[in-house]
């Protein structure tokens, strides 16, 4: 089980603003990491934008990684990833991207905890306009590495009762978050989180979309 990214965002009127993020991409191939990190940031922001205030959701995220894996790793191993999101009533939000083995409940405990701590340490005036360089909150990396082993993190049993799992919305694809007529391709090409290399790469990967390619 693995946590790949943990990010804190502010959900604005039209778009989400990334405030701080931590990544653990050690399990990806070295040359993939920068693109994967960009896609994770992109995905986290998109999910926050499409999740309503005061709600929790888990989104199965397969499409992007299928593409990445197929084209870079040429790998038939298609692991599913889950993005867990919590958007609070005050629009402060957090997203954790994990594999399917990682217990969902622990993810939401982590999100609660991180947001509470963050809102205590960072003034809410800075939320709408802050960015990872200006925001002074250092604990994210520590939380991410501590929670890699959910049994060592404190949460395994504690919050079990408090969290009503039936209230978590489950989306089976990223597409189900999109509005009618909206296309992931367009969102990718418009995104400011993705560099030119990642975009070009997404485009070619999407075009090929075949498994017979040599690499």
What residues numbered 19-38 form the site for another protein, per CB under 8 A?
27, 29-32, 35
Backbone angles phi, psi at 75, to 5 degrees: -130, 135
Q: Would you say 130 or 150 has its CB closer to another protein?
A: 150
- Could you tell me the smallest distance in angstroms from the CB atom of residue 71 to another protein? 7
At its nearest, how many Å lie between another protein and the CB of residue 202?
Answer: 9
200 scored as a contact of another protein (CB under 8 A):
yes
Nearest to 1 by CA among 104, 95, 78: 104
Report the nearest approach of another protein to the CB of residue 30 (Å). Answer: 4
What are residue 92's DSSP bridge partners? 10
Q: Which of 12, 62, 103, 159 binds another protein (CB under 8 A)?
A: 103
Residue 215 contacts another protein per CB under 8 A: yes
Of 39-47, 133-141, 174-182, 199-207: span binding another protein (CB under 8 A): 199-207
Closest separation in Å from C-beta 85 to another protein: 22
CB 3 within 8 A of CB 98: yes
- The reply on whether position 211 binds another protein by CB under 8 A is no
Q: Residue from 53, 54, 101, 172 that binds another protein (CB under 8 A)?
A: 101
Q: Report the nearest approach of another protein to the CB of residue 131 (Å).
A: 27
Per-residue contact string for residues 59-98; x = within reach of another protein by CB under 8 A = ------------xxxxx-x-x-------------------
Q: Which stretch binds another protein (CB under 8 A): 128-136, 137-145, 150-158, 171-179?
A: 150-158
Mapping DSSP onto H, E and C, the string for the chain reads CCEEEEEEEEECCCCEEEEEEEECCCCCCHHHHHHHHHHHHHHHHHHHHCCCCCEEEEEEECHHHHHHHHHHHCCCCCCCEEEEEEECCCCEEEEEEEECCCCHHHHHHHHHHHHHHHHHHCCHHHCCCCCCCCCCCCCHHHHHHHCCCCCCCCCCCHHHCCCCHHHCEEECCCHHHCCCCCCHHHHHHHCCCCCHHHHHHHHHHHHHCCCCCCC
Task: Give the C-alpha separation, 65 to 78, whole Å.
Answer: 8
Q: Which residue, 175 or 185, has its beta carbon nearer to another protein?
A: 185
| Contact residues: another protein, CB under 8 A | 1, 27, 29-32, 35, 71-75, 77, 79, 101, 103, 148-151, 156, 197, 200-201, 204-205, 214-215
């Amino acid at each position: 089980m693995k946590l790949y990214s943990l990010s804190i965002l502010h959900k604005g009127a039209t778009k989400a603003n990334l405030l701080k993020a931590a990544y653990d991409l050690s399990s990806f191939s070295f040359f993939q990491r920068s693109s994967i990190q960009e896609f994770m940031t992109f995905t986290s922001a998109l999910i926050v934008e499409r999740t309503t205030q005061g709600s929790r959701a888990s989104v199965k995220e397969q499409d992007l990684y299928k593409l990445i894996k197929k084209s870079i790793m040429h790998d038939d191993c298609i692991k599913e990833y889950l993005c867990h999101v919590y958007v609070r009533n005050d629009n402060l939000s957090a997203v954790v991207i994990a594999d399917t083995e990682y217990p969902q409940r622990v993810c939401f405990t982590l999100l609660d905890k991180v947001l509470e701590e963050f809102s205590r340490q960072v003034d809410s005036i800075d939320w709408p306009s802050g960015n990872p360089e200006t925001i002074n909150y250092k604990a994210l990396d520590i939380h991410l590495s501590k929670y890699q082993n959910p049994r060592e993190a404190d949460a395994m049993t504690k919050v079990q009762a408090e969290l009503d799992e039936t209230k978590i919305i489950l989306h089976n694809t990223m597409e189900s978050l999109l509005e009618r007529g909206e296309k992931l391709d367009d969102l990718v090409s418009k995104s400011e989180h993705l560099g030119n290399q990642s975009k070009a790469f997404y485009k070619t990967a999407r075009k090929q979309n075949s498994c017979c390619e040599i690499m």
